[in-house]
């Protein structure tokens, strides 16, 4: 018989060993899956490392892949930290992209040093407002935010498609020859392209620097500010928070807004750093918002750890593009991501529990005195 | 599984879910005296930083009520958790009927006929009594169960032990006393031969306590053994056959109840003589203006029924006003309305001259200290450190700007831990690692160090041991002496009589009378609590 027994005290080293061991386990399990689908696990892993780290330009590409994931990962982590389950990072990111693209197009005559902050502000604001809808519903009507944020993702996606495919909106390109063949967004002016920094052969997108700065800021906020203190109290016991005079509704609403703003900023970065156009298909296929939940969960909602986990998932995403081909469906990398998440989250049980194995034949019966009085149901009946 | 076969094939419940351990000390079957139904042999159990049990020897004979007496944190609950398979001992072992056993889980203990009724009931509120009784019981294997059969059987057991209960009632409809009855019946229905009750009387009214005691005697008359965990001397003396006293994790001794008295038991329990009764000296002259005022306040309870009906009450600076009453007559709602946690449907609440609109932060800002009835999860955030819990209310004022002053909080915590004698490893200890008495000290340390104008103390000593109770009483008296207006809500009439200057009696959401301490007459108050006269 195998069972989990709760540990009465958790040794500190387990906090490090368990996640590491679970990554190794994930690699083994994913290796089995690779082998079963006719791929040599070792060469595949080698490919992954090459395609995401060692090949020329690979690391820079991984930084590109991880940037939006860090934004959505932070957005999810900060909300989840207070047990506010905002899984609407996806839709909030769409709105951030819509806002930033709109600002970039509208203020096209402004110089970059003015235009880029405006795009960031527009993305932030759009994401914030979109997240404020489920925030208000949760804070004042106690509506389940999981459902509302999820549903609003589809609404946001439809709005985005409408702007490019089904309307003559401000975002849609109606003049260029290629746009006559297939609907597409207007290209942003050159001044709206966010800068990238060159360190040796490495290209660091501006958005990545913003995201890392944000991660440090959020980490400090949770640890050292009054706002973060209130978050921690409400995460631990909502009733104690209410008792202590914390304005719970405001907190829920504001944290939801912060979370949405971060995701929106991710959308702005996606437009400003990389695509320079509002591209509904690309954004929807990438699924940054949903992958961000994975990033946050792997980081256990710690903003600093999000930097690491988004890099890790960014590597996988990037390698997926390189590996993808007739013999290697893109779904396979998604499956590997899933296995990783499953192992790392599943392994958490081992930090707080230990496995106990005992063999059934090692349980001889010990006679105890018959009950002085037979109390209980008639035992002859079987169900 | 062998056990399941035995269950299904109609054998008497003999299988024991445990593997024998090497026969080291030899069971107590050496011919001297009857074989104990349940025994702990040299149990040692460590927790990080504490030895909860150290070489504890404990025996319960068949048909005996054996009290386990000790202060909070003395190791009573730990010992019982070891005997019911919830914890495994670091050293020593458990014997059932003279045979050493090793329990891997409470289920093993259940199979051996050992059941525990915890302080906090393990009942599922929306389910019925019958459903709760069979919940998680491996005896009911199939997908379906026949409610009628189970209800019939429960009725039979209930009748046998004279514990009337409606098997079809939902748990949330039952009073706390009735819920406890369900827990006990559940154990009996599942074939308990040894029943462990952890502080069973804390939640009961005095009538319910009397009823519980007669139930226990009924049970022992049929050969069932009872382990009665308590720190209340009068109850232990009233109900038990023998007493084992635990102090700081060690068994200090086992006595026949008939051969001992309250004074010597108290001495064994605390390790020194304690004063069992005390009266606060009357504060006399320095009673000031009203710091807490309720004017015709009404409010509804959780189920939407009227919980407070036109309550008017005044607490002046420097006095303690006691609120007496049987639990559930509006005391909890009274505290919640004053603290701003429950809206008043009509009437006004004034704290230190400031009319309240009914939010917790307003009440705190006006200078209200509040020791809530529910300490863990409301008064204290269990997953946070002592230092964090101590600044739970003051974090808004201290320092400047956005930043929390962590170092200052730690320093502050170290001082308060010292001043209020909180037994903890340090300011970074998590609140949930503290014993009940120390959690209450932590709470009082925070509330009193905030220099409140008015203080509500709701059941401040419920579940606390003698020493902690004494500390709480001293602190309450002291703060009244310092000019705080204290509203003491308690079901313990002795406590109210000991501490209060005036006593308000509540019955069905109304204050049915306010009497001065000097005119207080226990019988009259008792009648008022029962809704007779005023």
ipTM, interface predicted TM-score of the complex: 0.81
Q: Is A232 on the interface with B (CB under 8 A)?
A: yes
Query: CA of A366, closest CA in chain B: separation in Å?
Result: 6
B-contacting residues in A 299-338 (Cβ below 8 Å) = none
Q: Which residue has the higher pLDDT, A3 or B382?
A: B382
Between CA B313 and CA B321 the distance in angstroms is 9
Q: Are B297 and B312 in contact (CB under 8 A)?
A: yes
* Chain B residues in contact with A246 (beta carbon < 8 A): 361
For residues A275-296, average pLDDT: 94
- Helical H segments across B271-397, by residue range: 331-338, 360-366, 386-390
The pLDDT, as a whole number, for residue B457 is 96
Please tell me the number of Cα atoms within 13 Å of B403 on its side-chain side.
8
Which two tokens mark A355? 């496995």
Q: Are B331 and B458 in contact (CB under 8 A)?
A: yes
| Percent of chain A topping pLDDT 70 | 91
Q: Do A369 and B35 touch (CB under 8 A)?
A: yes
Query: CA of B32, closest CA in chain A: separation in Å?
Result: 18
Q: Do A382 and B360 touch (CB under 8 A)?
A: no
Q: Are B269 and B276 in contact (CB under 8 A)?
A: no
The interaxial angle of helices A303-323 and A58-81, nearest 10 deg, is: 140
Residue B419 host element (H or E): helix B406-419
DSSP state at residue B37: S
The pLDDT, as a whole number, for residue A316 is 87
Q: Do A366 and B150 touch (CB under 8 A)?
A: no
Q: Do A370 and B14 touch (CB under 8 A)?
A: yes
Q: What is the DSSP string of B440-467?
A: HHHHHHHHHHT--SEEEEESTTTT--HH
| Beta pairing partners, B371 | B457
Q: Do A373 and B223 touch (CB under 8 A)?
A: yes
Q: Are B475 and B296 in contact (CB under 8 A)?
A: no
Which two tokens mark B139? 């005896």
> Quick one: which of B86, B38, B83, B32 has its CA closest to B65?
B38
Tens-place pLDDT, residues A154-163: 999 999 999 9
Q: Are B232 and B70 in contact (CB under 8 A)?
A: no
> Quick one: which of B18, B86, B27, B24 has its CA closest to B52?
B86
Q: Residue A139 CA to chain centroid, in angstroms?
A: 23
Angstrom CA distances, A99 to A257, A270, B401, stand at 15, 12, 32
Residue A80 has pLDDT above 90, yes or no: yes
Contacts of B306 (CB under 8 A, 6+ apart): B298, B299, B300, B509
The pLDDT, as a whole number, for residue B531 is 67
> Quick one: which of A221, A345, A258 has its CA closest to A293?
A345
Please tell me the number of Cα atoms within 13 Å of B251 on its side-chain side.
19
Q: Is A76 on the interface with B (CB under 8 A)?
A: no
Q: Which of A3, A224, A383 sits opposite B406 (nearest CB)?
A: A224
Residue B310 host element (H or E): strand B306-316
Between CA A138 and CA A146 the distance in angstroms is 10
Q: Are A97 and A278 in contact (CB under 8 A)?
A: yes
Which two tokens mark A304? 């600093």
The pLDDT, as a whole number, for residue B470 is 86
The pLDDT, as a whole number, for residue B465 is 76
* Chain A residues in contact with B144 (beta carbon < 8 A): 383
Three-class DSSP labels, chain A: CEEEEECCCCCCCHHHHHHHHHHHHHHHHHHHHHHHCCCCHHHHHHHHHHHHHHCCCHHHHHHHHHHHHHHHHHHHHHHHHCCCCCCCHHHHHHHHHHHHHHHHHHCCCCCHHHHHHHHHHHHHHHHHHHHHHHHHHHHHHCCCHHHHHHHHHHHHHHHHHHHHHCCCCCCEECCCHHHHHCCEECCCCHHHCCCEEEECCEEEEHHHHHHHHHHHHHHHHHHHEHHHHHHHHHHHCHHHHHHCCCCHHHHHHHHHHHHHHHHHHHHHHHHHHHHCCCCHHHHHHHCHHHHHHHHHHHCCCCHHHHHHHHHHHHHHHHHHHHHCECCECHHHHHHHHHHHHHHHHHCHHHHHEEEEECCHHHCCCCCCCCCCCCCCCCCCCCC
The pLDDT, as a whole number, for residue B386 is 94
Q: Residue B102 CA to chain centroid, in angstroms?
A: 29
Q: Which of B12, B47, B365 sits opposite A370 (nearest CB)?
A: B12
Owner of token pair 């307003």: B362
Which two tokens mark B94? 């458990």
Q: Is A369 on the interface with B (CB under 8 A)?
A: yes
Which two tokens mark A170? 């401000």
Angstrom CA distances, B147 to A382, B151, B152, B155, B169, stand at 14, 6, 8, 12, 12
The pLDDT, as a whole number, for residue A1 is 60
Q: Is A376 on the interface with B (CB under 8 A)?
A: yes
Between CA A334 and CA A290 the distance in angstroms is 12
Burial A327-354 (b: 16+ CB within 10 A, else e): ebeeebbeebbebbbebbeebeebbeee
Q: Which of A227, A356, A376 sits opposite B189 (nearest CB)?
A: A376
Residue A210 has pLDDT above 80, yes or no: yes
- CA-nearest residue to B97 within chain A is A368
The pLDDT, as a whole number, for residue B25 is 38
Rounded to 5°, angle at Cα B409 from B408 and B411: 65
Q: Do the strands B242-247 and B65-69 form a parallel or antiparallel pair, or are they unpaired?
A: parallel
Between CA A303 and CA A309 the distance in angstroms is 10
| Percent of chain A topping pLDDT 90 | 65
Residue B54 host element (H or E): strand B50-60
Residue B436 host element (H or E): helix B436-449
Query: CA of A223, closest CA in chain B: separation in Å?
Result: 9
* Chain B residues in contact with A363 (beta carbon < 8 A): 2, 17-19
Q: Do B99 and A362 touch (CB under 8 A)?
A: no
Give the residues of chain B that fall short of pLDDT 70: 1-32, 48-50, 72, 138-145, 203, 270-285, 398-401, 530-534
> Quick one: which of B515, B503, B502, B509 has its CA closest to B531?
B509
The pLDDT, as a whole number, for residue B12 is 38
Between CA A45 and CA A30 the distance in angstroms is 10
For residues A363-378, average pLDDT: 41
The pLDDT, as a whole number, for residue B530 is 67
The pLDDT, as a whole number, for residue A371 is 40
* Chain A residues in contact with B377 (beta carbon < 8 A): 237, 239-240
Between CA A331 and CA A326 the distance in angstroms is 12
Residue A377 has pLDDT above 50, yes or no: no
Q: Do A356 and B189 touch (CB under 8 A)?
A: no
Q: Are B158 and B165 in contact (CB under 8 A)?
A: yes
Q: Are B290 and B315 in contact (CB under 8 A)?
A: yes
Report chain A's terminal Cα–Cα distance, integer Å: 24
Q: Which of B87, B144, B157 sits opposite A383 (nearest CB)?
A: B144
Residue B229 phi, psi (nearest 5): -85, 130
Count of other CB atoms within 10 angstroms of residue A301: 21
């Amino acid at each position: 018989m195998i069972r989990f027994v709760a540990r009465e005290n958790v040794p500190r080293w387990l906090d490090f060993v368990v996640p590491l061991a679970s990554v190794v386990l994930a690699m083994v399990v994913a290796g089995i899956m690779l082998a079963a689908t006719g791929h040599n696990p070792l060469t595949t892993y080698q490919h992954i490392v090459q395609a995401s780290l060692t090949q020329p330009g690979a690391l820079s590409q991984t930084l590109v892949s991880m940037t939006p994931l860090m934004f959505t990962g932070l957005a999810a982590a900060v909300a989840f930290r207070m047990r506010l389950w905002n899984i609407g990072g996806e839709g909030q990111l769409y709105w951030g992209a819509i806002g930033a693209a709109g600002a970039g197009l509208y203020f096209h005559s402004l110089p970059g040093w003015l235009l880029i902050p405006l795009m960031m502000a527009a993305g932030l604001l759009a994401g914030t407002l979109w997240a404020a809808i489920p925030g208000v519903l949760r804070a004042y009507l106690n509506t389940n935010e999981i459902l509302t944020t999820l549903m609003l993702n589809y609404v946001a996606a439809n709005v985005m498609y409408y702007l490019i495919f089904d309307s003559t909106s401000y975002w849609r390109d109606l003049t260029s020859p290629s746009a006559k063949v297939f609907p597409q967004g207007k290209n942003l002016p050159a001044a709206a392209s966010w800068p990238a920094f060159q360190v040796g052969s490495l290209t660091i997108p501006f958005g990545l620097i913003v995201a890392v700065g944000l991660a440090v800021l959020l980490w400090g906020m949770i640890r050292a500010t009054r706002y973060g203190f209130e978050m921690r109290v409400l995460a631990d016991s909502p009733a104690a928070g209410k008792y202590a005079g914390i304005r719970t509704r405001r907190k829920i609403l504001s944290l939801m807004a912060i979370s949405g703003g971060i995701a929106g900023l991710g959308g702005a970065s996606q437009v400003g750093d990389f695509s320079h156009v509002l591209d509904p298909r690309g954004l929807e296929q990438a699924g940054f918002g949903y992958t961000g939940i994975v990033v946050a969960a792997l980081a256990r909602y710690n903003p600093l750890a999000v930097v690491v986990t988004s890099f890790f998932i960014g590597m996988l995403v990037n390698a997926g593009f390189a590996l993808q081909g007739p013999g290697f469906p893109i779904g396979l990398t998604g499956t590997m991501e899933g296995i990783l998440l499953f192992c790392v989250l599943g392994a958490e049980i081992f930090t707080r529990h230990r496995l106990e194995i005992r063999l059934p034949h090692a349980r001889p019966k010990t006679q105890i005195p018959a009950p002085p009085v037979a109390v209980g149901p008639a035992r002859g009946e079987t169900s | 599984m062998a056990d399941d076969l035995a269950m299904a094939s109609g054998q008497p419940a003999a299988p024991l879910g445990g593997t024998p351990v090497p026969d080291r000390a030899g069971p107590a079957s050496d011919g001297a005296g009857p074989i104990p139904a349940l025994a702990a042999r040299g149990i040692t159990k460590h927790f990080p930083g504490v030895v909860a049990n150290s070489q504890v020897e404990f025996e319960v004979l068949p048909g005996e009520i054996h009290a386990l007496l000790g202060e909070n944190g003395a190791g009573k609950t730990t010992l019982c958790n070891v005997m019911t398979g919830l914890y495994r001992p670091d050293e020593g072992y458990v014997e059932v009927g003279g045979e050493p056993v090793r329990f891997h889980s409470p289920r093993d203990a259940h199979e051996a006929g050992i059941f525990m009724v915890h302080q906090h009931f393990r009942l599922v509120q929306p389910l019925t009594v019958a459903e709760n009784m069979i919940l998680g019981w491996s005896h009911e294997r199939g997908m379906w169960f026949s409610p009628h059969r189970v209800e019939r059987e429960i009725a039979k057991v209930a009748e046998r032990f004279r514990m009337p209960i409606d098997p079809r009632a939902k748990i949330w409809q039952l009073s706390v006393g009735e819920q406890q009855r369900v827990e006990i019946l559940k154990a009996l229905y599942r074939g308990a031969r040894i029943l462990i009750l952890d502080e069973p009387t804390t939640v009961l009214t005095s009538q319910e306590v009397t009823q519980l005691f007669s139930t226990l005697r009924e049970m022992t008359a049929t050969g069932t053994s009872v382990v009665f965990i308590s720190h209340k001397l009068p109850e232990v003396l009233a109900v038990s056959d023998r007493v084992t006293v635990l102090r700081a994790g060690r068994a200090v001794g086992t006595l026949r109840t008939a051969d001992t008295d309250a004074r010597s038991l108290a001495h064994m329990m605390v390790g020194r003589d304690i004063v069992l009764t005390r009266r606060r000296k009357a504060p006399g002259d320095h009673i000031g203006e009203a710091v807490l005022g309720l004017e015709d306040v009404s409010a509804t309870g959780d189920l939407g029924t009227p919980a407070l009906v036109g309550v008017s009450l005044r607490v002046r600076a420097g006095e303690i006003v006691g609120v007496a009453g049987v639990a559930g007559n509006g005391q909890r709602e009274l505290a919640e309305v004053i603290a701003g946690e429950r809206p008043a449907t009509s009437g006004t609440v004034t704290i230190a001259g400031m009319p309240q609109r009914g939010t917790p932060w307003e009440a705190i800002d006006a200078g209200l200290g509040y020791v809530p009835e529910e300490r863990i999860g409301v008064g204290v955030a269990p997953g946070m450190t002592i230092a964090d819990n101590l600044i739970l209310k003051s974090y808004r004022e201290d320092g400047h700007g956005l930043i929390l002053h962590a170092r200052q909080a730690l320093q502050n915590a170290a001082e308060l831990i010292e001043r209020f004698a909180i037994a903890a490893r340090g300011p970074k200890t998590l609140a949930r690692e503290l014993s009940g008495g120390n959690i209450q000290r932590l709470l009082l340390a925070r509330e009193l160090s905030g220099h409140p104008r008015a203080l509500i103390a709701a059941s401040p000593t419920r579940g606390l041991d003698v020493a902690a109770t004494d500390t709480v009483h001293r602190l309450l008296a002291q703060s009244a002496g310092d000019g705080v207006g204290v509203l003491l809500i308690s079901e313990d009439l002795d406590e109210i009589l000991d501490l209060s200057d005036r006593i308000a009696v509540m019955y069905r959401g109304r204050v049915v009378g306010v009497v001065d301490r000097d005119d207080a007459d226990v019988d009259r108050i008792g009648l008022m609590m029962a809704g007779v006269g005023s």
